[in-house]
Amino acid sequence: MKAFRIVIFDLDGVLVSEKSSWEAVHKALGMEKEGQINLRGYLKGEFDYKEFMSRDIALWKNTDLNGIRTIVNRISLTNGARETVHSLKKLGLKTAIISSGISVLADRVKAELEIDYAFSNKITEDKNGKIIGIEVVPVHRKASVMRKLARLEGVSTRNCIVVGDGIYDVPMFKIAGFSIAFNSDNDEVKGAADISIDKKDLREIIPYIKLLLKRFGPQHFSNYTSA
């Protein structure tokens, strides 16, 4: 049994090249400006995250789910993503995605990379074929989803390694056993992480994780409970 059991990845900007899958869809549909208006309203506290999702999805009114899937399927994996997940599996670690991005992208990446878990905001269709959203990972509550995952696996959040790039990943950094800021353009995110990697190749995290597994035995976190 290893002290570190799970590596948790953010999706947008970490496992895939796009910084925001929501913005990628808006841009493809010519709704980038309207999407930015929605984002500013949410950040100002004018409405909650569920309403934010609804307003964003409403911008896609002339597109069906297959159209959204076609757009996100054009989003490429980050350099080294495939090799990195494969290496982590060989090391005996489980992998997970915790993202406030779009489920059609998260589910595709989960299947493509054979990741164990994927938590993201569900995009589906109602019985009339209208696109609807189901809130699963509110952007401010990613740490709560991380705690849920730890309970599912019967481990502490301190047995988790988190790889993220945005300010909303910082709460996960705080309860993880080790945190990596990957390709982040935010100094606060970099400062909150145990290490920061600027090179746009996910394989750069592997030597650090191997070192952690070598350094810490199974008793290292024995005094911790889930944060």
Q: Are 11 and 21 in contact (CB under 8 A)?
A: yes
CA distance 201 to 205: 9
Which of the following is catalytic: 10, 56, 165, 169?
10
Query: 3-class DSSP state for residue 185?
Result: coil
Q: Are 188 and 167 in contact (CB under 8 A)?
A: yes
- The first and second tokens of residue 118, run together, are 């994927």
Which of the following is catalytic: 12, 107, 165, 169?
12
CB within 8 Å of 113: residues ≥ 6 apart: 15, 77, 81, 82, 85, 95
Active site includes 12?
yes
Query: 3-class DSSP state for residue 166?
Result: coil
Residue 207 is inside which H or E element, if any? helix 206-215
- The first and second tokens of residue 117, run together, are 């878990």
CA distance 52 to 48: 6
Any idea which residues carry the catalytic annotation?
Answer: 10, 12
